[in-house]
Amino acid sequence: MEFGAPMLAVSALGAIAVAMALPALKTRLELSLAKHRSLTGHVRMARRIAALIPFYEYDEAHFFRCDDPPEEIAACRRAGFMRLADLYAKRFARTLACTQEVAEDISDLQFTGAYRVPFQFSGLVRRHLRAGAFVVSSSGVTITDLDDNQLYDLTGSYGVNVLGYDVYKDCMERGLERMHALGPVLGAYHPVIGYNVKRLKEISGLDEVSFHMSGTEAVMQAVRLARYHTGRSHLVRFCGAYHGWWGDVAPGIGNPMPAHETYTLAEMSEATLRVVRTRRDIACVLVNPLQGLHPNAGAPADSGLIDSARTAHFNRAAYTDWLKRLRAVCTERNIVLIFDEVFVGFRIAAGGAQEYFGVAADLVTYGKTLGGGLPIGVVCGRKALMKRFRDDRPADVCFARGTFNSHPLVMAAMHEFLERLETPAARALYRDLDATWNRRVEHLNQRLQEEGLPVKVANLSSIWTVCYTQPARYNWMLQYYLRAEGLALSWVGTGRLIFSLNYTDAECEAVADRFVAAARAMQQDGWWWSAPATTNKSIRRRILREIIAHRWSLARDQEKAS
Ligand SMILES: Cc1ncc(COP(=O)(O)O)c(C=O)c1O
């Protein structure tokens, strides 16, 4: 009985502790609910799981039979593969030889070479269907390799090529002429910068501009400014969105360190709005409007094309509505809304995503095409957010410099580019932009459907993603058939095709002809055969079993060796 009072006190203390912990638990739960349910939405878990996946590859016999096809289908695939290998060896001989000479010495080339297709297939593909890394010229909408093959360019140079390569060649050449007298003098500005700043302010509708060397750096600076001015620590990025390779905006797979001050939340989600509205540590929300094409999914690359689950569909009205609601919550909570327009700026509208969606951001980052063919990153922002020092606390600064910021040659090429944007010819490119590109995509899709080919293209304006309409293991082969038809793709293969706006209807039709021919050849070679009961889920389950078996045998080997 004498323990009664202390017991009561302990219980009361316990109740108080629980009551005190409840709000924290509630906020934690809300945060969990705002994560996208996919692995992409759970970056730490994704990293842990990725570390468990062992390397294994299919031997030559299994390579063509991983979905248990009839023998004649496997033979057909093999014949198609070897025919392509022969064609590549002959048609791209010099380009491949040159690539091979440097491949061992260029780390980037080794990486992109290894990640063109799912790793189980990578060995044989790399031995027989090597991708050449060299080109020597560009003209119109084509590029030419060392073997004099002229290919339609669907790489878009990672999105830099908006107006057509000839425009950038001109910008670079005239920029060089203009800067001939000044050369590489840094720190001081050449007068061309005045026009650039004036135009960027007009285009962004914002007060100030800062120049950087890449999109990654522009994003770093935008986030740093948001943290500096709000005094808060965390940035919100959306599941799957790419903002360059700086650690804080690229948590999870690909980043050796965890990003402790980043929330990766689901896009187009009520739960996310709740978190943004209630948490007190959020400095900024980063939006990459390209995600409108595939909300909450990572950049589609063929190395991840293990089945046909890739989906994409751009719903302009729904995404606009989302951005408007996000804008309202950020305004309400004094959170800095950053539009990362490094990719879509100047591509989806002359005034970029802000104009396209009718939503104003507090900070906007630009890059890629804005450099007129040269490396660039730009931040535009409201005056109060762009300031890097405090009048009342002189030692409290937000430092951001960079040797090559505002390089005269880049400023001059940018000047040319921005002038070009004002010409009637450039303005005409933006007229009916969506209607033009949607019509082209619909036309191609109709042709694919009429021929019974299991391929469908989704687009956000001139940015296309190829999707596959029936469960299959070999969709990634399409990139090699496309190349054989004279279409140049970047290392992510059919995940992203980027067109420059100067593509004419006739040129798009030529691309469509080749696209359909490639898909037809691939179908004839048996790659899209699948057993009637196959589903994307059954494919993934089978791959999971393979992974577990390899992990198991790895563990057994290690045990024996120790
Ligand atoms: C939306 C976005 N932000 C940032 C970056 C990084 O730009 P950069 O490659 O110039 O560093 C990219 C690059 O693709 C991008 O698409």
Q: How is 197-209 classified by DSSP, letter by letter?
A: HHHHHHHHT-SEE
Contact predicate 468/300, CB 8 Å: no
Ligand 1 atom with least separation from CA of 377 = 10
Instruction: Kindly write down the DSSP assignment for every residue of 300-365, as one continuous string.
Output: P-GGG-SSS-------HHHHHHHHHHHHHHHHHHTPEEEEE-TTTTTTSSTTHHHHHHT---SEEE
d(CA 119, CA 307): 13
335/278 Cα distance (integer angstroms): 11
Residue 6: exposure state from Cβ atoms within 10 A (0-12, 13-18, ≥19): exposed
- Give the H or E element holding residue 516: helix 505-524
Q: Which atom of ligand 1 is nearest to the CA of 375?
A: 10
Q: What region does 254 belong to: left with phi over 0, alpha with psi -120 to 50, or beta?
A: left
**How open is the CA angle 176-177-182, to the nearest 5 degrees?**
75
Structure tokens at 7: 């017991």
Q: How far is the CA of 450 from the centre of ligand 1 (A)?
A: 37
CA of 341 to the centre of ligand 1 (A): 9
Distance (Å, rounded) from C-alpha 304 to C-alpha 302?
Answer: 5
The H-assigned helical ranges of 53-191 are 60-63, 71-91, 93-103, 107-114, 119-128, 165-178
Bridge partners, 212 (sequence order): 377
pLDDT digits (tens, 9 = 90+) for 210-267: 999 999 999 999 999 999 999 999 999 999 999 999 999 999 999 999 999 999 999 9
pLDDT at residue 1 in the model: 44
Residues with CB under 6 A from ligand 1: 158, 214-216, 219, 242-244, 288, 340, 342-343, 367
Q: Does the pLDDT at position 286 exceed 90?
A: yes
The DSSP 8-state label assigned to residue 54 in this structure reads P
Tell me the residue type at 26. Answer: K
Candidate of 212, 216, 366 to mutate for ligand 1, largest count of ligand atoms within 8 Å of Cβ: 216
pLDDT of res. 556: 84
Strands (E), 126-186: 135-139, 142-145, 150-153
**Average of per-residue pLDDT values in the chain:** 95
Strands 463-468 and 455-460: antiparallel
pLDDT 10s digits, 382-392: 999 999 999 99
pTM over 0.85: yes
The Cα–Cα gap between 152 and 497 comes to 11
Q: Which residue has the tokens 């692995």?
A: 39
| 51-74 pLDDT per residue, tens | 999 999 999 999 999 999 999 999
Q: What is the pLDDT of residue 74?
A: 98
Supply the pLDDT for residue 560.
84
pLDDT score for 19: 75
Pairwise CA distance, residues 162 & 176, whole Å: 21
One-letter amino acid at 529 equals: W
Closest CA to 285 of 30, 43, 34, 32: 34
Q: Report how far ligand 1's centroid is from the alpha carbon of 326 (Å).
A: 22
Counting runs of H as helices and runs of E as strands, what totals does the chain give?
20, 14
State pLDDT tens for residues 123-142: 999 999 988 999 999 999 99
Measured between alpha carbons, how far is 144 from 152 in angstroms, rounded to an integer?
A: 9
Kindly tell me if the per-residue pLDDT of 436 is higher than 70: yes
Residue 13 has pLDDT above 80, yes or no: no
Q: How many Cα atoms occupy the beta-carbon half-sphere of 157 within 13 Å?
A: 21
Helices (H), 347-432: 352-357, 383-386, 408-421, 424-430
Look up residue 391 and give its two tokens. 């009048």
User: Per-residue pLDDT for 6 more than 70?
Assistant: no
Percent of the chain with pLDDT over 90: 92
Instruction: Calculate the CA dihedral of residues 527, 529, 533, 534 and round it to 10 degrees.
Output: 10
**What integer pLDDT is reported at residue 4 of this predicted model?**
62
Question: Ligand 1: distance of its center to the CA of 453 in Å?
Answer: 33
* Alpha helix ranges (H) inside 179-237: 192-204, 215-230
Percent of the chain predicted with pLDDT > 70: 98
| DSSP at 483 | H
Give 516-552 pLDDT, tens digit per residue. Answer: 999 999 999 999 999 999 999 999 999 999 999 998 8
The answer to whether 514 and 486 are in contact (CB under 8 A) is yes
Residue 491 Cα to ligand 1 midpoint, Å, equals 16
Which range is least confidently modeled, 1-5, 201-205, 430-434?
Answer: 1-5
Give, for ligand 1, the residue of 221, 242, 294, 346 to mutate: max count of ligand atoms closer than 8 Å to Cβ: 242
Whether residue 32 has pLDDT greater than 80: yes
Atom of ligand 1 nearest to the CA of 368: 10
Once rounded to an integer, what is the mean pLDDT over residues 312-325? 98
424, two tokens: 């009637």
**Between the CA atoms of 512, 518, 524 and 527, what dihedral angle is there, to the nearest 10 degrees?**
-120
Confidence band of 50 (pLDDT split at 50, 70, 90): very high
For Cα atoms 353, 356, 360, give the angle at the middle one, nearest 5 degrees: 60
- Residue-wise pLDDT for 168-213, tens only, equals 999 999 999 999 999 999 999 999 999 999 999 999 999 999 999 9
C-alpha to C-alpha distance for 426 and 445, rounded to whole angstroms: 28
